[in-house]
Structures are given as structure tokens and as C-alpha cells.
Structure 1
Amino acid sequence: MILNIILIILAIVGGLVALFLLIAAFSKKKYTVAREISIDKPRQEVFDYLKHLKNQDHYSKWVMELPDKKTTFTGTDGAPGFVYTWDDRKSAGAQEIKRIVPNESIDMEIRFLKPFKGVAQASLFTKELPGNGQGHTQVKWTFASQMPFPMNAMMVFMNIENFLGKDLDLSLGNLKAVLERR
């Protein structure tokens, strides 16, 4: 009797594991999230602020959530090769400027060490918009990464677009507030 119960429990657990792996086998691994906002400032001013990673301390939700982080900087902020590393009880990693196209885009690589290892690509784009004569700029922030097998099955159960998108929206709102106060 007890042996039958144990076998049934093992069969159920095995079936759930097999189902999870099957879902992972057919789930996408890569994802990209993008959000944008318009800022009532000239493109040059917005871009010059964005290209300095240290400024993320004032607008990025993710950076602002780690007030006790230890940071180190290597290279020249605002130039390719600049690396901003952080270490906190909750997370650790590095963000590196990979490429800058003046007044157009900043491409960054983010390397996460904890709570999990991973690599993401992030980009900030600026575009001049017709506006009030003072300057009006659209900022678009993209974030792309992938989840390894079998963890990619989690993307079926959680909407990563909404999850990360909320953080990007909040960060862009902070950026708008900071720049429009200047």
C-alpha cells in the first residue's frame, strides 16, 4: 500500500518535471523589451546626459534600488569601454558601454553575476521630435536577453514584457523628471 502511494507520488512528480521540460523545449529563449518617452529638452542635452552611465544613479529604477551598493568605474564615462560595476547584498554585475553613435544611440552590455548569471544587451536611442522650438527628444530604451533551458519555460507563466517594461517605464519617467527640471 505505502509502496503504491510512493510510486504514484513519484509518477506525478516525474510527469510534472517532464511537462516542464516539454514546455521549455518549445518555449522561446530570447526576449526584447522596449519603451520610449518624450522629453522637452534638446536632443544634444538629452544624449549628453544619457551617455554617462554614472547618471543612471538618478533615474534607473534598478540602480536606485541598491543604495548601499559598492561601485567601481573603469575607463572614461561617456565613452566606449567604460565599465560601471556594482556589488550589493542582492545583486552584482557590470555594465559596459560598447558603442556610441553621437546623438543617436548608446549600446551597453550588462553582465549579471548575482542573484543569477546572465548577459543582456541594452540600448538607448534618441530622436529629435518636432516641438516647441526649445527642443523635444524621444528616448527609446531597449533591453534584450535570453533565458537558458529549462528556465525559459518560466516565460510561459510570467509576462516578461510587462515585468521589465514597468521598470523601464518608471526609469524613463524618472529621466524625464530629472532632465526637465534642469
Structure 2
Amino acid sequence: MKVQIQRSINIEKPQQTVFNIIADLKQWNTWSPWMQSEPTAKTQSSGISGQVGQTQSWEGEVIGSGRMTIVDLQKNQLMKMNLEFFTPWKSFAEAIFDVKEVSPQQCKVTWTMNSNLPWFMFAFKNMMAAYIGNDFERGLKMLKEYAETGSVVSRSIYQGEKELPGFQVIGRKTTSKISDLGTTIRADFEDLNKRLQSGELTPPDGIVTLSHKHDIPHGTSTFTAGYLYKSNQHPKIPKDFEVTQVPNHKALVVDYYGPYRNIGNPWSMIVSYQRGKKKKVAKSIPMYELYKTMPDGRPEKDIHTQITLPIK
């Protein structure tokens, strides 16, 4: 079953600079969306960086194992790779990076993957294409950040299973395009803050976003950006807001340090661990982001968000 996935991005750096990053597989750990899912996975490179024949293999607890090999290079313009996946199932794909100059200080990178999914994945073809496309978008954004600034500010730490106390959240359930998610959540929190300042809301114990449904294939997300209170509290509730009760629960937890533009990385990590460890999701309890520290002028690397996925 053939699948093609393609995404592009413009980067404010010369074509040669960006191509040299892409063609050096040793630099992939910095911006690869899959290595962000399991930074502790083992990787090994062989061959000469930036030349045909260079390989990098990976082996992880939850991202599986495989190998990528550069098979064609056209200086500063095109790189082709063979991707071999060994586990969790055997598969093969071709990846192509096309780098075109837009101006002396800007280039456009197009990442294409041609693959054949196993026959038993036929029913999930569109979903898989959407999820991999989302990974490509995350990877290209991190490639852009790395090329333009020299680093990617994103650190995710898997904390394992935790027993967590229940709480209640006051907010408004909203559905948004995933592409507009950051702007929409920010607007909801601005409204909450105004209500707090006016005395309509009781000072909260925390700030949280509940994820009721994140539909990547359809590009929409339903969430509640709200204030968190202990279960035994009786806070003020504005008439146009609602209360969501979250009971005591067991969950997988990831601590994330970095800006919200890279928040997809810890989400990818926690879902990878949930699937890799075959944990059943507690669908009656929303996943959520708990904001341990807010930006407030602090360095991006110190912005702390806890990602939580309730399980049975």
C-alpha cells in the first residue's frame, strides 16, 4: 500500500548552510521529531558525514529500531535516503530532501517520504499519513529553529506512571483548528485572567488545559483552558463557564522544559510510551497540560509544563 507524505518550510539561512545540516546524519538527533520522542534511544553513525553511504541506526524502547542510509546527493540541492524499519514491524521507505534557494539568505526545504505500509495497516492509511505529516511539520520547525539559532529549546523527561489526585477545572470548552490552537488557548486564558481580576473567579491553585479530543486527521482540537481548584473547594463560577471534575487517576507523566512552540514533542513522547508499553487510555478522563511555570520573562529553557495521559 503506497503512501506519499510531503511538507515544506522556509528557513532564513543560506541554502548551503541548511543543506549541510540535513546531509550530516550526526546532527539529526537535535531536530528529528522521532528522537524527541525518546532521547535516550541508542543511535550509531557510520561513514563520512555529508557523503553517500553515511548511515545512522537507532534502537529504542518505544520508537523501535531501524537504519537510514544516504543513497544520493546533489550538492546543496537534493538528498535521498533509504529508511529501513526493523521493529515494531519491518518496512521500507524513501526520504527525499529538496532544498531550493529563495534568496541568498533564505531557502525552502521540502521533505517527502514514499513508503509502503504493511497490508494490515490499510484501514489506518489516512490516519497514519496525518500523524506522519504532523511529525514532518514538527521536524521541519525544529530544523528551522536549529539552522537559524544553533539550538532547539526542548527537553522532555519521561517520569513513568504516577498516582495523581483529582481536581476541578473552571473554563469554557472550545473547538479550534490545530493550526490556530496556540492563539485560541492564549485568548481563552486572557479572558480567564480578566474574570479573575474583576473578582468573577476565585484565585486558582493552578492553570491547566484539558485535551478532550485532538483529531489530527481532521485538523481540529477540543479543549478547556481553565483554572484548577482542589476537589473540595467551592470556587466562584461565571455563568458562561463550566466545571469539569477530574477524579483521582493513574497516569503517564512527562515533564517538559521549553517554549510552547515545541509542545508537540512531549505529547509525542507520552503517546509513544503509552503505545510502546501497551497501556490502555482512560478515555473518560481528559489528557492535560499543567503549567508549572509560566513564561513571565523567564528563559525559554525554564518554562516547565507537565504533560499527563490518564491510563486504566
Quickly name the TM-score band, shorter chain normalised.
0.7 to 0.9
Structure with greater helix share of residues: 1
Q: Aligned partner of 2:78: which letter?
A: S
Q: Aligned partner of 2:99: which letter?
A: T
Are residues 1:170 and 2:138 paired? yes
- 1:159 Cα offset (Å): 2.9
- 1:65 Cα offset (Å): 1.6
Deviations 1:74-109 (A, max 9, x none): 211211111101111121110111111101111001
Unaligned runs of 5+ in 1: 1-28
Higher relative contact order (CA 8 A, sep 6+): 1
Alignment of 1:23-102 (within 5 A): 29-90=1-62, 91-102=64-75
Unaligned runs of 5+ in 2: 151-312
Q: Aligned in 2, Cα 1:61/1:139: closer, same or farther, shift over 3 Å?
A: same
**Alignment partners' CA distance in 2, 1:31 and 1:153:** 13
- The count of aligned residue pairs is 149
Q: Aligned partner of 1:69: which letter?
A: A
- 1:143 Cα offset (Å): 1.1
Are residues 1:144 and 2:114 paired? yes
Other-structure match for 2:97:
124
TM-score (norm 2): 0.46
**Alignment partners' CA distance in 2, 1:164 and 1:104:** 23
Q: Aligned partner of 2:145: which letter?
A: A
Other-structure match for 2:216:
none
- 1:48 Cα offset (Å): 1.1
1:108 to 61, 64, 81: 81
Of 65-74 and 168-177, deviating more is 65-74
Of 64-73 and 37-46, deviating more is 64-73
Q: Aligned partner of 2:110: which letter?
A: K
- 1:139 Cα offset (Å): 0.4
Moved over 6 A (4+): none
**Alignment partners' CA distance in 2, 1:148 and 1:174:** 29
- 1:56 Cα offset (Å): 1.1
Q: Aligned partner of 2:148: which letter?
A: E
Q: Aligned partner of 1:110: which letter?
A: L
- 1:58 Cα offset (Å): 0.9
**Alignment partners' CA distance in 2, 1:74 and 1:56:** 14
Deviations 1:160-180 (A, max 9, x none): 332111110011000111111
2:124 to 140, 154, 162: 154
**Alignment partners' CA distance in 2, 1:63 and 1:124:** 18
TM-score (norm 1): 0.77
